[in-house]
Amino acid sequence: MKSTHLPLKSLDDALAELLAFAVPLQGSVELGTFDADGRVLVQDLTSELHVPPQDNSSMDGYALRCIDVATAGSVLAVTQRIPAGAAGAPVEGGCAARIFTGAPIPPGADAVVMQEDCEALPPTSAAGLHEQVRVLALPQPGQWIRRAGEDVTRGAVVLHRGTRLTPAELGLAASIGLDRLAVARSPRVALFSTGDELVMPGDVAPGQMRPGAIYNSNRFFLRALLKRLGCEVSDYGIVPDQRDATVQALRAASSQHDLILTSGGVSVGEEDHIKPAVQALGELNLWQIAIKPGKPFAYGRVGSAHFIGLPGNPVSSYITFLLLVRPFLLKLQGVRVLEPKAVTLPAHFDWPRADKRREFLRVRRNAAGGLELFPNQSSGVLTSAVWGDGLVDNPPGQSIAHGDAVRFISFSELLA
């Protein structure tokens, strides 16, 4: 059969079209704050208190009135001791309070002098048998005092709906007293592979592999990527390379999942069972995306489920997932900021052979602050994604000379 050449679609156009289909999922679940890492808020979080709730000391030292320390070396009576969690009495003239980090500032005190700038003295009868402190440095009003509401003010929205929670956000939610959070429900994703050439690691020893067989590496990284994005994954394994079996697997998956994800068998003109099976049950759009690695991509519907078909080459599948499937799944969960952050860094390599497609080159940062290029950029070399710590997003038709400024996207941005 003669291949039908589809026009190349830009990555930006493909992503916009794909995201238009990604309507956020209905429903939410309530989780303990301890268990909400990586999940997406479905409502704003508003603080009912100041954080910190009152002025407190940011140092171990002495709380005092600046007016009582006219010169360095002034001696004050220490009339109270205030640990964190305790409230102090008012500080009277000529007196100081021994105070510890996090303890509330007692009424009357307007500064804290850290203990390194003080000298503790024994009690004397002149000081009413109180311990004393010699203040060795002149204090300034407000020094070493954390003000009430310095972090969060009462009534402030601390986290917005659509925020994907990280450990820092969980701590912030806990700081305003929230032990449970309403989050978007997890996307339910069915994952399977087709291809009689695929073999699962552990099923066949390397020395016993039949000619043409390969281990199914895509299944492992795709499943891990889906779980990192908070998905509930149903692994359908390797579906036999038969149309009836493929239709049966798609039909079963569509009734229980939000997304069906496959890899391989989406190149234009390729003989496979995924395309006719999806078309028999729903609709399928085949795209040729102007990126390298990548290019073949499929989006469609099977019943109420979304369908996405990724290319079969491992690096193509990996990169295409990060660039297209990741934002699609995040939008399903209501995330609003979908684009990964990029930085500009110098290329410490030459790339003279510009491609007409937008390229994503596997690179890593070096000690000199530049980017080194993995020598083999083939779409089948998964080693490049392990060796590298990110991608150079190189525009179509753009060659690169050593020292050129390039756009770098860290894998830490894409795998978060």
pLDDT confidence of residue 267: 60
- Residue 381 inside a domain? The answer is yes
Domain ends where: 86, 121, 146? Answer: 146
| 44 and 180 part of one domain | yes
Residue where a domain stops, chosen among 310, 332, 354? 332
pLDDT of 14 reads 96
Q: Are residues 214 and 267 in the same domain?
A: yes
CATH number at residue 319: 3.40.980.10
274 and 162 both lie in a single domain: no
Low-confidence ranges of the chain (pLDDT < 70): 1-5, 126-128, 196, 265-272
Task: Calculate the CA 395 to chain-centre distance.
Answer: 25
For residue 34, tell me if it sits in a domain: no
Q: Using an 8 Å Cβ cutoff, are 345 and 365 in contact?
A: yes
Residues 313 and 369 grouped into a single domain: no
| Domain that residue 367 falls in | 343-414
Long-range CB pairs of 335-341, under 8 A, 24+ apart, other chains included = 335/40, 335/162, 335/163, 335/164, 336/160, 336/162, 337/162, 338/19, 340/409, 340/410, 340/413, 340/414, 341/409, 341/413
Structure token pair of residue 17: 């079209």
Rounded to whole angstroms, the Cα distance separating 83 from 85 reads 6
User: Which residues partner with 373 through β-bridges?
Assistant: 363
Residues 410, 197: Cα–Cα separation, whole Å: 33
Single-letter amino acid, residue 358: R
Give the three-state DSSP class for 66: helix
Query: What does DSSP assign to residue 153?
Result: -
pLDDT attached to residue 5: 66
**CATH number (domain holding residue 410):** 2.40.340.10
- Asked whether residue 337 is domain-assigned, the answer is no
Partner residues linked to 283 by β-bridges: 301
Q: What's the chain's Rg over C-alpha atoms? A: 31
Helix or strand holding residue 47 (H, E): none
Same structural domain, 282 and 366: no
User: What type of residue sits at position 221?
Assistant: F
Which pLDDT score, from 0 to 100, does residue 197 have?
78
119 part of a folded domain:
yes
Please measure the distance between the N-terminal and C-terminal CA atoms of the chain and give it in whole angstroms.
43
- Does residue 338 belong to any structural domain of this protein? no
pLDDT of residue 1: 39
Residue 195 structure tokens: 């291809």
Does any domain span residue 33? Answer: no
Indicate whether this model's pTM tops 0.85: yes
Q: Is residue 258, in this structure, part of any structural domain at all? A: yes
pLDDT value of position 126: 66
Please indicate, yes or no, whether residues 348 and 364 belong to a single structural domain of this protein. Answer: yes
Q: Check whether residue 260 and residue 228 sit in a common domain.
A: yes
What CATH code is carried by the domain that includes residue 140? Answer: 2.170.190.11
Cβ-Cβ contacts under 8 Å for 19 (sequence gap 6 or more)? 327, 328, 331, 338
Q: Clarify whether residues 79 and 211 are in a common domain.
A: no
pLDDT at 2: 46
- Domain match, 193 and 260 both: yes
Quick: pLDDT tens for 263-313.
Answer: 886 665 555 678 888 999 999 988 899 999 998 999 999 999 999 999 989
Q: What is the pLDDT of residue 214?
A: 80
Q: State the pLDDT at residue 128.
A: 65
Q: What are phi and psi of 277, to 5 degrees?
A: -70, -45
Same domain assignment for residues 347 and 400 = yes
**347 lies in a domain?**
yes
Query: Given the structure tokens 């300034």, which residue do they identify?
Result: 140
Helix 243-254 and helix 274-281: axis angle, to 10°? 50
Backbone angles phi, psi at 203, to 5 degrees: -80, -35
Task: Count the Cβ atoms, other than its own, within 10 Å of residue 31.
Answer: 15
Same domain, 348 and 370: yes
Query: Cis omega (within 30 of 0) on the bond before 293?
Result: yes
**Cβ distance 354 to 46 under 8 Å?**
no
| Domain end residue (candidates: 124, 146, 168) | 146
Same domain, 75 and 43: no
d(CA 297, CA 250): 18
**Alpha-carbon span 137 to 117, nearest angstrom:** 6
The tally of domains found in the chain comes to: 4
